[in-house]
């Protein structure tokens, strides 16, 4: 069945080389993507119109995420930093006393909420093993953690697999990453 | 119980704010080394850039590699962007130039294997003819890739951007870095090469119509 649009078009204009012919092609192009009969007419008038209906290239979410990660890795290399995740590069240095002050209420929260609030960085060889989950501190109150976190600069917030907030704890002598489960809502916006 | 502390910074909120910026503002945020802005740029531009690179290169994997390098280059050169220029033009220029360079170097490597490739293509052509209406879009893309081998790298890039992506001549001229009249010349030549190649190699899809007979010099 012929398209009504086809009857109104002067197909010969496709063969012309002029600004008006270019504008005509621009106008025609979207229609040719959806109308086979007009496409046949167009190709008859100008064989190069054969390519007017090319498929759109699809990019999946996983391809995009993979590219974002690769680019982030390249960006870190350019900056001269080791290709490690952001939160591991921002690991603060803590004094033993400060660690205890933070860990005890944090572990208490772990007990209260039944989740892991404090975890070691992924590479344990980089500093002494610090953290071990324990239920003994579970009697301590959540507000202790809030007090200790108050004033600490927040360095990162992850929304990936497990939502976490990373706080920077100042004045330390060994590496620690303090990951607080974002579900605790310690006052986020 | 003491009040809970407010977050000094929320990455989620930052992402939301970045997501509302237009492309030009996004490039300006890159100048502050904002990594979230780069992520957002990849989210917005990856698919259209992969599409253009794929049509210039005819290979999906190569297109993805080229686009990845383009994003890294955008990051490296982020301070060179001036807001008086169109963000899209600046981004496409980087990606398109990389794709053209890549195609050029690949072609020089392939030149050695040219006689064998042509022989194999001819055999394939003889066995796989079908009516135009039966052709899928992917097959059209495959035929374009074959026939576009007869175009120069620049002709191919201009044909892709103008004819397949629907960019204006002015935009293409700015991306490629030449005058609009040069774009038109390349475009006319590219069309002529493709018409002739299509008639020669796929006469069933390009029957003699209203066109005047022409030959590629």
B194-207 tens-digit pLDDT: 999 998 888 888 76
Taking contacts as CB-CB distances below 8 angstroms, the residues of chain A near B9 are 153-155, 157
Q: Is B8 within 8 Å of A154 when comparing Cβ atoms?
A: yes
Q: How confident is the model at residue A183 (pLDDT cuts 50, 70, 90)?
A: low
Q: How confident is the model at residue A172 (pLDDT cuts 50, 70, 90)?
A: very low
Q: Any CB–CB contact under 8 A between B212 and chain A? A: yes
Q: Looking at residues A65-69, what average pLDDT do you find?
A: 91
Q: How confident is the model at residue A94 (pLDDT cuts 50, 70, 90)?
A: very low
Q: Looking at residues B13-27, what average pLDDT do you find?
A: 91
Q: Looking at residues B64-73, what average pLDDT do you find?
A: 94
Q: Any CB–CB contact under 8 A between B13 and chain A? A: yes
Dihedral angle at the C-alpha atoms of A69, A71, A77, A78, nearest 10 degrees?
Answer: -150
Report which listed range, A76-90, A153-167, B130-144, B165-179, is most confident: B165-179
Query: What pLDDT score does B79 carry?
Result: 92
Asked if A54 contacts B140 with a C-beta cutoff of 8 angstroms, the reply is: yes
pTM: 0.65
Q: How confident is the model at residue A116 (pLDDT cuts 50, 70, 90)?
A: very low
Residues 18-37 of chain B with CB under 8 A from chain A are: 35
Out of B12, B72, B190, name the one closest to residue A71 (CB): B72
Asked if B53 contacts B63 with a C-beta cutoff of 8 angstroms, the reply is: yes
Query: What pLDDT score does B69 carry?
Result: 93
Whether pLDDT at A151 is above 90: no
Q: How confident is the model at residue B158 (pLDDT cuts 50, 70, 90)?
A: very high
Q: Is B166 within 8 Å of A29 when comparing Cβ atoms?
A: yes
Distance CA A187, CA B6 (A): 4
Q: How confident is the model at residue B129 (pLDDT cuts 50, 70, 90)?
A: very low
Q: Looking at residues B84-95, what average pLDDT do you find?
A: 94
- Please tell me the least confidently modeled range out of A28-37, B78-87, B176-185: A28-37
Q: Which residues contact A171 (CB under 8 A, 6 or more apart)?
A: A93, A94, A95, A98
Query: What pLDDT score does A11 carry?
Result: 85
> Edge-to-edge strand order for the sheet containing A178-181?
A154-158, A164-167, A178-181
Distance from CA of B206 to the nearest CA of A (A): 6
Share above pLDDT 90 across residues of chain B, in percent, rounded to a whole number: 59
Measured between CA atoms, the residue of chain A closest to residue B40 is: A68
Share above pLDDT 70 across residues of chain A, in percent, rounded to a whole number: 41
Query: What pLDDT score does B184 carry?
Result: 92
Tell me which of B174 and A142 has the higher pLDDT: B174
Q: Is A64 within 8 Å of B42 when comparing Cβ atoms?
A: yes
Tell me which of B190 and A110 has the higher pLDDT: B190
Asked if A53 contacts B137 with a C-beta cutoff of 8 angstroms, the reply is: yes
Torsion over CA: B163, B165, B169, B175 (sign): negative
Out of A40, A55, A158, name the one closest to residue B138 (CB): A55
Query: What pLDDT score does A41 carry?
Result: 86
Q: Any CB–CB contact under 8 A between B179 and chain A? A: no
Query: What pLDDT score does B52 carry?
Result: 96
Q: How confident is the model at residue A72 (pLDDT cuts 50, 70, 90)?
A: confident
Q: Is A12 within 8 Å of B39 when comparing Cβ atoms?
A: no
Q: How confident is the model at residue B134 (pLDDT cuts 50, 70, 90)?
A: low
ipTM surpasses cut 0.90: no
Distance CA B180, CA B171 (A): 9
Q: Is B51 within 8 Å of A56 when comparing Cβ atoms?
A: yes
């Amino acid at each position: 069945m012929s398209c009504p649009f086809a009857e109104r078009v002067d197909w010969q204009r496709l063969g012309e080389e002029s600004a008006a012919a270019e504008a005509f092609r621009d106008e025609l192009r979207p229609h040719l993507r959806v109308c086979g009969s007009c496409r046949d007419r167009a190709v008859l008038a100008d064989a190069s119109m054969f390519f007017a209906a090319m498929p759109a290239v699809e990019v999946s979410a996983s391809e995009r995420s993979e590219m974002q990660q690769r680019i982030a890795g390249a960006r870190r290399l350019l900056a001269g930093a080791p290709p490690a995740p952001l939160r591991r590069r921002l690991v603060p240095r803590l004094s033993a006393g400060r660690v205890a002050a933070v860990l005890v209420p944090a572990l208490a929260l772990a007990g209260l909420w039944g989740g892991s609030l404090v975890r070691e960085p992924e590479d344990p060889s980089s500093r002494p093993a610090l953290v071990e989950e324990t239920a003994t501190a579970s009697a301590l109150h959540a507000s202790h953690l809030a007090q200790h976190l108050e004033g600490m600069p927040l360095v990162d917030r992850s929304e990936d697999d497990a939502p976490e907030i990373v706080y920077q704890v100042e004045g330390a002598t060994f590496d620690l990453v303090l990951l607080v489960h974002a579900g605790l809502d310690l006052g986020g916006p | 119980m003491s009040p809970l502390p407010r977050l000094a910074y929320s990455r989620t909120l930052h992402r939301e704010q970045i997501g509302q910026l237009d492309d030009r503002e996004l490039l300006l945020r890159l100048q502050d080394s904002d990594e979230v802005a780069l992520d957002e740029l990849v989210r917005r531009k990856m698919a259209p850039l992969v599409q253009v690179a794929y049509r210039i290169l005819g290979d999906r994997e190569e297109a993805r590699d080229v686009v990845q390098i383009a994003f890294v280059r955008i990051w490296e050169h982020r301070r060179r962007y001036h807001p008086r220029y169109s963000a899209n033009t600046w981004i496409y220029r980087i990606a398109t130039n990389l794709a053209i360079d890549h195609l050029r170097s690949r072609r020089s490597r392939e030149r050695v294997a040219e006689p064998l490739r042509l022989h194999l293509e001819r055999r394939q052509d003889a066995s796989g003819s079908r009516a135009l209406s039966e052709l899928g879009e992917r097959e059209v893309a495959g035929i374009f890739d074959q026939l576009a081998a007869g175009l120069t790298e620049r002709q191919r890039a201009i044909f892709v951007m103008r004819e397949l992506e629907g960019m204006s001549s002015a935009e293409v001229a700015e991306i490629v870095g030449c005058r609009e009249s040069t774009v038109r010349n390349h475009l006319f030549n590219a069309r002529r090469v493709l018409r002739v190649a299509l008639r020669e190699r796929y006469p069933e899809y390009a029957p003699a119509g209203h066109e005047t007979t022409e030959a590629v010099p």
